[in-house]
Structure 1
Amino acid sequence: MAGLDQYQNPLNSRYCSKEMQYVFSPRNRFSTWRQLWVYLAESERELGLEISEEAIQQLKSHVRIADSEFETAAIEEKRRRHDVMAHVHTYGLAAPLAAGILHWGATSCYVTDNADLIFLRDALNLLLPKLATVISLLSDFAIKHKALPCLGYTHGQPAQLVTVGKRTSLWITDLLYDLRNLERTRDDLLQVFRGVKGTTGTQASFLTIFKGDHLKVEALDELVTKKAGFEEPEISTSQTYSRKIDVDVLHCLVSFGATCERIGGDIRHLAMFKELEEPFEAEQIGSSAMAYKRNPMRSERLCSLGRKLRNFGGDAEQTYAAQWLERSLDDSAIRRISLPESFLCADACLQLLNNISSGMVVYPAVIQRRINAELPFMATENIIMALVEKGVSRQEAHEQIRVLSHESGAVVKQEGKDNDLIERVKNNAFFDPIIKDLDALTDPRTFIGRCPEIVEKLVNTKVKKALMKYGDVKLNGAAELHV
């Protein structure tokens, strides 16, 4: 097999989707360069420059770079030590009628930077419906379990009851923030196309080509921008688009990475408690040594990739801050790594979130057992209030409950036995006035407040509104993991 003696990036070989890999692939990169050269030549012709229609058609017929042309470009790059000029030469060989006007007035960043903006836009457009699908899957799960009581935790300690659905709604709320961040970033990108700006952003070369006609230079900028699918060109750029844009784009991915690690951590804790499990396939092996293990490998991978994703923000920040004047090339190598890999990482996280959300398993009996261990203590206030309503002194009721609670606590902590506080209450004549009400006073469903209503309101308002533009996301189906 080819490539087995070379390092393979696991984002490609194990984790992310084919469509995201294609966005940042060599074929898409160089084919996009060619499309940008077509846009430039077309627009220059439309504005009166002497470029034949035959030359344009020849360019268009060879926009998708052929396999054989990669070798030609590689030979040229080795000779010329310039990737863009190597591809100008290669494209010119495929379209000889256009070779003389190819790249007319442009600098290398016309194709490299405009292409990068196209890749960022397209990659965001791939992520958005995948994130919408995850939110939809989790919303279905939350609705299904909106009223299933479970033990809540604050400070890592048992706290007031919540429900499985209400806890899931916390994840959904954070993912809705991520959806808005990604949408905003994508929409902002549409306003900042680099367009045609020349070597230092002055448009001097195009002003020369159009004999000092400023209106035609501006029209050229607008035409190319619209052809590329953007709304407006940035007014002022240097040789490159501002690397501040990369900071903003990667920040929204970084924030999403933090969400992934948070959700993955919650699922891992719940799996540790045996309350909830991610999907586990019939022949899946949890451990090579411990055959009984059902390790939460998907959630662990989600945490791992989310953590990596969170670290890409520093690349963009430091690269932007280190730029000199109209541009320096120390941004090139790092961006070739950090921009594609951040999106591949985010895509891999969404693959995992989709897969996990499509098959989470809840164990109500285990959840009930954990509630039973703690609820008697939580119910003591209800018991005291009920006694007061029957005319019993609040202070005397408090003292009786305090003594029994400490006795029961000692049984739990020192003897490792079940919480027997309710049995102690039932066997103590002091509590006879409320014995018939005891089941109701200790019913877990009376401790969950408005959890079901909160879940329903979130899903029926914010989620419904946010996902409306994405159509029936359930048609996307569950994501299949490669490994």
Structure 2
Amino acid sequence: MKYIFSPRNRFSTWRELWIWLAESERELGLEGITPTAIEQMRDHVRIQDHEFELAAVEEKRRRHDVMAHVHTYGQIAPAAAGIIHWGATSCYVTDNADQIFLRDALDLLLPKLAAVIQRLSNFALEYRDEPALGYTHGQAAQMVTVGKRATIWIEDLLDDLHNLEHARDRLVAKFRGAKGTTGTQASFLAIFNGDHEKVKKLDELVTQKAGFTASVRSTTQTYSRKIDVDVVHALSSFGCTAERIGGDIRHLAMLKEMEEPFEQDQIGSSAMAYKRNPMRSERLCSLGRTLANFSANVEQTYKSQWLERSLDDSAIRRIVLPESFLCADACMILLNNISSGLVVNRAMIQKNYHVDLPFMATENFIMAMVNKGHSRQDAHEHIRVMSQEAAKVVKQEGKPNDLIERIKNNKFFDPILDQLEDLMRPSTFIGRSPEIVKEVVEFDVAPALKKYESAIGNIRDADLAV
């Protein structure tokens, strides 16, 4: 990802764009573009270290970054010096290159996200039957399973996958192409002596050579910054998901139910040697929050553009676009690492839900008493009183939940005493959680990841440099 947005790749991509323009102009009959010129341009498409120095000297002299590189390229490809950038404006290379970077960066992220979804799906299937206490409002609620909880993360990540795919699909059909200084193609119409069809064909050829499916018919000097808004919105939405997942894992770590990977010699705290801080998930939350906030910058930049263009977008786009993708890539690496080694503490999960299991079972007790011919209202009142007494013991005295003992000692419930164990079996409280996991993986995950099967196989578990 760093290479995509690196100076070497940026200026080498500019040279590719100049080659595609010259090749296309030659194919359409422009005289003066010789095979030797094209050959020299191709021989020097990748900018070398010493050429950065040449370009710096030219830029200091000419005070224009694109023209500095035009002259630098002409020095090492002298046969092409007079035709490089023929008919183009600076945004021909700067904007088209940026769109190429956006596409390539999305292509890098999508398989990584698919791999994370696959890892979490495997985790969800493994723990689809493992009962765990659910929480609403931060309070104990009905039970779920460890695997069912993971499908919540999976569903949101699938939305991110679809959002990024949609952003990419729209991007590759909206290339800027060869449009001239204000989007009128006047300069190209002039060099083709008023031949509109050749101007249209030039735009089409450059677009195809760049690997895009279509170009936008009408642009200003730049491609619309609305494209940046759409792409970064998809990235920012993923950032929200990353923070949400990291937050859930941190809460579960606080409850000692689940832990992120922890190496044998890893140190959790310089002072408290016993600690296993969820530092990966905390870092994921930090990066996710940062990524989510980038969307405001591209929105403001798009809204601030004037007429055919203004240059007040330059600095912020050079910062926000690379950093958005680098931040998203870092989140992918963290999610890969975390999902590859989540630790489930079954004993702690069971200990936590056994505190509240008797309360959750009360509805089962009431229904069982009704089946034995007793009044639901009478059973409800007995349960209500005893539940409040048991809750007081737990909350105010710090003692274990003794509701079951109270029920066993209450003659009213004698008819169902032989059923208590079955009525309190944790698996009776998880509903369709195991089936939901299997259905999510089969009907949501599998179709979405089919196109990424070969790429997923090539993505290894991520190592972190702490």
TM-score range, shorter chain: over 0.9
Tell me if the contact between 1:194 and 1:233 (Cα under 8 Å) persists in the aligned partners: yes
Closer, same or farther: CA 474–434 of 1 in aligned 2, 3 Å: farther
**C-alpha deviations, 1:445-476, integer Å up to 9, x for none?**
00000000000000011100000000141441
C-alpha distance in 2, partners of 1:344/1:313? 14
C-alpha distance in 1, partners of 2:219/2:384? 72
C-alpha distance in 2, partners of 1:27/1:456? 47
- For residue 153 of structure 1, give the secondary structure of its aligned residue in structure 2: strand
1:374 corresponds to:
356
Tell me if the contact between 1:30 and 1:65 (Cα under 8 Å) persists in the aligned partners: yes
Under a length normalisation based on structure 1, what TM-score does the superposition of the two structures give? Answer: 0.95
Q: Is 1:265 matched up with 2:247? A: yes
C-alpha distance in 2, partners of 1:285/1:421? 42
Given the alignment, which residue of 90, 95, 106 partners 1:124?
106
Q: Is 1:210 matched up with 2:183? A: no
Q: Is 1:31 matched up with 2:12? A: yes
- For residue 161 of structure 1, give the secondary structure of its aligned residue in structure 2: strand
C-alpha distance in 2, partners of 1:362/1:140? 14
1:171 corresponds to:
153
1:399: Cα distance to partner? 1.9
Q: Is 1:480 matched up with 2:448? A: no
2:26 corresponds to:
45
1:92: Cα distance to partner? 0.5
1:397: Cα distance to partner? 1.3
1:75: Cα distance to partner? 1.1
1:450 corresponds to:
432
1:427 corresponds to:
409
C-alpha distance in 2, partners of 1:64/1:305? 33
1:300 corresponds to:
282
C-alpha distance in 1, partners of 2:367/2:201? 77
1:11 corresponds to:
none
C-alpha distance in 2, partners of 1:431/1:474? 57
User: How many residues are treated as equivalent by the alignment?
Assistant: 464
C-alpha distance in 2, partners of 1:295/1:91? 53
1:100 corresponds to:
82
Q: Which amino acid aligns with 1:111?
A: V
C-alpha distance in 1, partners of 2:239/2:431? 31
Q: Is 1:275 matched up with 2:282? A: no
Q: Which amino acid aligns with 1:482?
A: A
- For residue 3 of structure 2, give the secondary structure of its aligned residue in structure 1: helix
Tell me if the contact between 1:274 and 1:366 (Cα under 8 Å) persists in the aligned partners: yes
2:372 corresponds to:
390
Q: Is 1:112 matched up with 2:94? A: yes
**C-alpha deviations, 1:402-427, integer Å up to 9, x for none?**
22212211110111011111122122
Q: Which amino acid aligns with 2:43?
A: S
- For residue 141 of structure 2, give the secondary structure of its aligned residue in structure 1: strand
C-alpha distance in 1, partners of 2:375/2:176? 77
Given the alignment, which residue of 391, 394, 401 partners 1:412?
394
C-alpha distance in 2, partners of 1:221/1:62? 24
Q: Is 1:146 matched up with 2:134? A: no
C-alpha distance in 2, partners of 1:214/1:67? 41
C-alpha distance in 2, partners of 1:119/1:341? 13
Tell me if the contact between 1:136 and 1:474 (Cα under 8 Å) persists in the aligned partners: no
Could you say what the CA RMSD is over the residues aligned between the two structures, in angstroms? 0.8
- For residue 221 of structure 1, give the secondary structure of its aligned residue in structure 2: helix
Given the alignment, which residue of 205, 212, 215 partners 1:223?
205
C-alpha distance in 1, partners of 2:90/2:381? 82
2:3 corresponds to:
22
Question: Structure 1: which 4+ aligned runs deviate by more than 6 Å?
Answer: none
Tell me if the contact between 1:124 and 1:182 (Cα under 8 Å) persists in the aligned partners: yes
1:334 corresponds to:
316
Runs of 5+ in structure 1 lacking a partner? Answer: 1-19
Tell me if the contact between 1:151 and 1:161 (Cα under 8 Å) persists in the aligned partners: yes
Tell me if the contact between 1:84 and 1:108 (Cα under 8 Å) persists in the aligned partners: yes
**C-alpha deviations, 1:215-236, integer Å up to 9, x for none?**
0000000000000000111100
**C-alpha deviations, 1:309-343, integer Å up to 9, x for none?**
01110111101111111001100011000000000
Once structures 1 and 2 are overlaid, which stretch shifts more, 416-425 or 121-130?
416-425
1:289 corresponds to:
271
C-alpha distance in 2, partners of 1:103/1:111? 9
1:9 corresponds to:
none
Once structures 1 and 2 are overlaid, which stretch shifts more, 286-295 or 428-437?
428-437
C-alpha distance in 1, partners of 2:375/2:198? 90
Q: Which amino acid aligns with 1:27?
A: R
2:419 corresponds to:
437
Tell me if the contact between 1:142 and 1:168 (Cα under 8 Å) persists in the aligned partners: yes
C-alpha distance in 1, partners of 2:189/2:332? 46
Under a length normalisation based on structure 2, what TM-score does the superposition of the two structures give? Answer: 0.99
Q: Which amino acid aligns with 1:247?
A: V
Runs of 5+ in structure 2 lacking a partner? Answer: none
**C-alpha deviations, 1:34-90, integer Å up to 9, x for none?**
000000000000000111111101100100001110111111111111110010011
Tell me if the contact between 1:74 and 1:86 (Cα under 8 Å) persists in the aligned partners: yes
Ranked by relative contact order (alpha carbons within 8 Å, sequence separation 6 or more), the top structure is 1
1:435: Cα distance to partner? 1.0
**C-alpha deviations, 1:271-299, integer Å up to 9, x for none?**
00000000011111111111111000000
- For residue 235 of structure 1, give the secondary structure of its aligned residue in structure 2: coil
Once structures 1 and 2 are overlaid, which stretch shifts more, 391-400 or 442-451?
391-400
Q: Which amino acid aligns with 1:201?
A: G
